[in-house]
Amino acid sequence: MKNNIRSYLNTQPQIADTCYIDDMAVLIGDVILHEQVSVWPFAVIRADVNSMQIGARSNVQDHCMLHVSHKTAAKPEGSPLLIGEDVTIGHHVNLHGCTIGNRVLVGINSIVLDDAIIEDEVMIGAGSLVPPRKRLASGYLYMGSPVQQIRPLTEKEREFLPYSAAHYVKLMRNYQINS
């Protein structure tokens, strides 16, 4: 196991063969990366006290921090982190114990906290804060701190969501060829 991919107690990251993990990223513990996930420099994905899954073709960009909340008597499941397919997680994003649907873009420097649920086809503008337990409905642009629903996504924006994920898969392949 590479030094930047580490086990924790009895769990170790499970990474599909088609993934790209930059040597400067760190993955720890109960993490599952599905097909064609890319993790970029200085991202930290730490699943030491709960589990984490990242869906196919999703990307975790530079300087992201992904973590989970532990299980307690009051909250037996704790707050795992679940990320769907074709998700773009922009630079410097913090995700903590939340659920992200499919075809979502989380803008640069945004924060999504415990038990927030982001439904499918959502765009979160740069610098936004999604508070604990907040639910963002499918098909909208959200911005602000705390986040607010701004307007429905345009057709062009909806088309951009899978395009963004596909672009990172292409970028990932270029890096794999050159490594």
Q: What is the mean predicted confidence (pLDDT) over 137-149?
A: 98
Query: Rounded mean pLDDT of the chain?
Result: 97
Q: What is the mean predicted confidence (pLDDT) over 30-59?
A: 98
Structural domain boundaries enclosing 48: 5-177
Whole-Å CA distances, 128 to 14, 82, 100, 108, 111: 30, 19, 15, 9, 6
Percent of the chain with pLDDT over 70: 99
* CATH code of the domain containing 173: 2.160.10.10
The predicted-structure confidence for 98-138, as pLDDT tens digits, reads as follows 999 999 999 999 999 999 999 999 999 999 999 999 999 99
The Cβ of residue 169 has, within 10 Å, a number of other Cβ atoms equal to: 19
How far is residue 95's CA from residue 145's CA, in Å, rounded to a whole number?
15
Counting the structural domains of the chain, the total is 1
Place of tokens 């960009």: 61
- With a cut of 70, say whether residue 158 has pLDDT above it: yes
- Model confidence at 2, pLDDT cuts 50, 70, 90, reads confident
* Tokens encoding 148: 């607010």
Inter-residue contact 84 to 58 (CB < 8 Å)? yes
- With a cut of 90, say whether residue 179 has pLDDT above it: no
- Model confidence at 166, pLDDT cuts 50, 70, 90, reads very high
Q: What is the pLDDT of residue 115?
A: 98
Q: What is the pLDDT of residue 1?
A: 62
Q: What is the mean predicted confidence (pLDDT) over 127-150?
A: 98
Q: Which residues of 111-124 are buried (b: 16+ CB within 10 A; e: fewer)?
A: bbbbbbbbbbbbbb
Q: What is the pLDDT of residue 178?
A: 80
The predicted-structure confidence for 71-84, as pLDDT tens digits, reads as follows 999 999 999 999 99
